[in-house]
Amino acid sequence: MTDPLFALRPWESPEVTSWGRLPMSAVDRRPDAVSLDGDWRFQLLPSPDAPPADVWSMAYVPGVWTMQDTDDLPQYTNVRMPYAEFPPLSPADNPTGVYEREVDVPAEWAGRRIVLQVGAAESVLLVHVDGRPVGISKDSHLAADFDLSGVVRPGEPAAVRLTVVKWSDASHIEDQDQWWHGGISRAVLLYATDPLHLADVTVRARYDGDLLVDCQVRNAGGALPAGWYISGDLDGQLLTQDGEFDRFNAEDDRVSDFLGEARIRASVPEVRTWNAETPELYGLTVRLHRADGTVADMSYRRIGFRDVEIVGRDLLVNGERMFIRGVNRHDFHPLTGRTVSYDDMRADLVLLKRFGFNAVRTSHYPNDPALYDLADELGLYVVDEADIESHDHAHEIADDPRYLNAFVDRVSRMVLRDKNHPSIIVWSLGNESDYGANHDAAAGWVRRHDPTRPIQYEGAAKRGWADPGLASDIACPMYAPLEDCVAHALSGEQTKPLIQCEYSHAMGNSNGTLADHWAAIESTPGLQGGFIWEFWDHGILQRVSDGRPTGRAGAGLYDNGVTAPGQRWAYGGDFGEAIHDGAFIADGVVFPDRTPKPVMFEHREIAAPVRIECFRHEGIVLGNHQHFRGLEWLSGTWELALADGRTLIAPAELPALRPGETAAVPLPFALPEDGGEAWLTLRVTTAEDQVWAPRGTEVCAPQVRLRAATPVTPPVVGGGRVEVDGEGLLLHPLLALAPTLSLWRAPTDNDELGGMAARWRTWGLDSLVRKVVSVRRDGERVTTVAEYAGAVGVVRHCQVFTPVGGGVRVEESAELPEEFDDVARVGTVFETVPGLDLLEWFGRGPWESYPDRSTGAPVGHHSVPVDELFTPYLRPQESGGRHGVRRFTLSAPDATGLTVELDEPRQVSVTRHRAEDLTAVRHHDELVPRASCVVHLDAAHRGLGTASCGPDTTPQYLVAPGVHRWSWTLRVL
């Protein structure tokens, strides 16, 4: 007899979204469930039509088989599907995993309703128990529940088989920018309820304290028994059923399942409201009673009282307009792929809170229920996004009636499961799937079922940011130029909040102009923030020897973004895929091991809750930039960095400020009268333990310049002789390679994908040929002139070397022809002898910074080992720069070394790698650090921008043609 599940062939039937699957519910059954996680018998078949094999291995559940030593390895594509078949077809070669295990059904569950829950399976799940077909689910990122009551016997073991088919018609609407995997990625549970059970609970908790709890009740055994009722309590305070309730009986006598409804209403006095800054939660318990008063079922959930609404062009939480400082987050782990533990999710959100983020978009599918619990607890606004992305075939699918049920099913099930979370403030219909009737159908269902939250969908919003007739209540473009956003807000035509669903693409050394972006948002009514793309670099830890992922066995073999010997962070193409999109998967604000990239400190400062507004002679003006909270949870320390090398420290007393208020405080120090630059920093930390940070965690470090630098006095000429070789290059005992002109950098991902690197190569900037024009000695001063020829254009470079006390002063100029209208840098590069291992500097730091990404690096005195200056972006590229450096010292352990003083704050980098070293390799395990230091002193350095996916840097950060001048002094310690 043909198996009815396989006879349906759900992997090629878009009309089949489920079979035997129970309706979605907001009732959380996890606390009382039996976990079926662990090792299952496993075999991987070449297709769902292939006969079962005789040989079984073991696979861990939850876990994708692509990370567990099978021959089916991860594959990364962005837009393209990994196979050629058009929707709804899937390829004939279709890996199919078969999982089996014995399950002991507790004897005490006799007479109860027994349910199997599979947390998520990619892409089609077929369930059999004791050889009998139970059901089908087709949605890779939502749980599927199946009633086993008529299949299993309590007290006896049951054989559970889960068959997972990797490719299906549904894969065409799961075409997200991420690794393709296959398997069971979330927990598998078994739970039991009374036949009389809570089918659903809907909570409406408003910020004025009004509480409505709507309950749906079913009886799996037949009609609802007479006399049942609902009760509840809120943090122990008794709630009662509100008036009469209705019972809706099915007229069709073939249906044995009946539905009843009841409501609890209450008003909570002096309610503590929920928001991302003060996420106050209450414990709500709902009980379903039989007529005799005994409890048949119970549901517990932590709830928050808050309202969300759109008024005019503002999104409001509890009546307040707030900024959305968001990030897009995929489910990802470098060892387990799509499977993420509770501890991992908590660590993700804690890190985001510590760096000033207040919102998460669940790109591009519903997350594990635990993530929303954590967002409720920690305080993060959530845009909950449906598992719909048809990027490669978006236009065809948006209006394809064969996919109508799938669209409505995925959106409605997400809302039904997640609706009681206060953290969720917006529903999203999906991502990059064009816009059609299928979206409107899903939006209509949401508006009817949950009118308390707005809907967003970029595919609809891009048809017209102000069009009220589209499915999106929010104008949510992705990578819109900042000037377009500002122009729209100032046009007088704006009708909706403008919150970018994706902006500031974090691929490699990126996120330029982030501070400029936020300066415009905060000063332009109608702009309300957005979500950075994205949280993770999705680098998979790979064994270099055999090209496989490390899987669970590799835990702990990486640290601070750097892998252990024999391993590397893999990206597209590293598993032998013919179709892939390379390093485009490495576009996060953290490395695969969750080490923050430098941009995280930039964001932390941009989102600072307390800021220095200005410096006046009578003191410092501080401002509270939060929306709901005072400053009582913070403490501070003043630091005064002086140009002479001193740093003064004093405690800071923060004023009592309500949100939006400012106050002047006296200067904590009397400025020394000896002149020189002076920078005042307020180190702000948590005053007490927070749920996301222990006491003393730094929150921000706002800074203001109290005094500008005094004009640089030229050093006294004399005291030595400048030595140059026949090529007109400076000879110095601590230089292994003499200073020459540099116009090239190892291209960043933005440089490559934005087209700048190709242009620079066309100009020949990566292979300039130096020709000495003249070398002239005038007393103790030597002047050299050289020409650097590219494929087009010639750069004339002049260096004047003058001996000064204890060193050499170098004055340089470079004249760029008009052809070179946008180069990477103009400056000097030289290399030191080995042994100089410590860099100390006065300038921005301590982490990496660039001209258009330097707000998060305060000016001060910094000290970092040379080997820690380089930032190991997954694809080697320009990194490790420090912006605004005034002077620096490179020293050996015996305190010998050199000091460089610059004529004005400049961009400086000191690493172990030449630009050509970085350009020649794809991964860091291929790099061989040099014993010397490669030093760049830049008169001008191009901004980073985000041109790999989004706007390039703005004109003020470009390096223009013409004459560039700079000078520096080299001294021996």
- For the annotated catalytic residues, the residue numbers are 432, 502
The distance from CA 380 to its chain's CA centroid, rounded to whole angstroms, is 14
Nearest to 394 by CA among 476, 478, 470, 459: 459
Own/partner pairs for 863-867, CB < 8 Å, 24+ apart? Answer: 863/838, 863/839, 864/838, 864/839, 865/837, 865/838, 865/839, 866/836, 866/837, 866/838, 866/839, 866/890, 866/910, 866/911, 866/912, 866/933, 867/837, 867/912, 867/929
Report how far residue 789's alpha carbon sits from residue 54's, in angstroms, rounded to the nearest whole number: 68
* CA dihedral sign of residues 325, 330, 335, 341: positive
Length of the chain: 973
Peptide bond into 846 cis (omega under 30): yes
Helix-strand-coil split of the chain, %, nearest 5:
15, 40, 45
Tell me which H or E stretch contains 299.
strand 295-303
Contacts of residue 845, Cβ cutoff 8 Å, sequence gap at least 6: 857, 858, 860, 862, 864, 882
Nearest partner of 103 among 18, 36, 177, judged by Cα: 36
Among 593, 224, 203, 221, residue whose Cα is nearest residue 418 = 203
Residue among 480, 509, 683 at smallest CA distance from 599: 509
Its sign, for the CA torsion 188, 194, 196, 201, is: negative
CA 534 to CA 326: how far, in whole Å? 9
Instruction: Compute, in degrees rounded to 10, the torsion defined by CA atoms 694, 696, 697, 698.
Output: 160
Q: How far apart are CA 778 and CA 767, in angstroms?
A: 32
Distance in angstroms (rounded) separating the CA atoms of residues 142 and 417: 9
Beta strand 124-129 pairing with 610-616: unpaired
Q: DSSP letters of 323-357? A: -EEEEE----BTTTBT---HHHHHHHHHHHHHTT-
Confirm if 699 and 688 have CB atoms less than 8 A apart.
no
d(CA 529, CA 511): 15
CB 910 within 8 A of CB 890: yes
The letter for the amino acid at 915 is A
Q: For tokens 């996004």, what's the residue? A: 385
Could you tell me whether strands 359-361 and 381-385 are parallel, antiparallel, or unpaired per DSSP bridges? parallel
The set of residues, in sequence order, having a beta carbon less than 8 Å from that of 330 and lying 6+ positions away, is: 176, 178, 363, 364, 534, 535, 536, 538
CA distances from 528 to 325, 486, 623 (A): 9, 11, 19
**Residue 201, phi then psi, degrees to nearest 5:** -135, 125
For residue 952, list its beta bridge partners.
none
Joined tokens for residue 407:
């669209």
Query: What type of residue is 178?
Result: Q
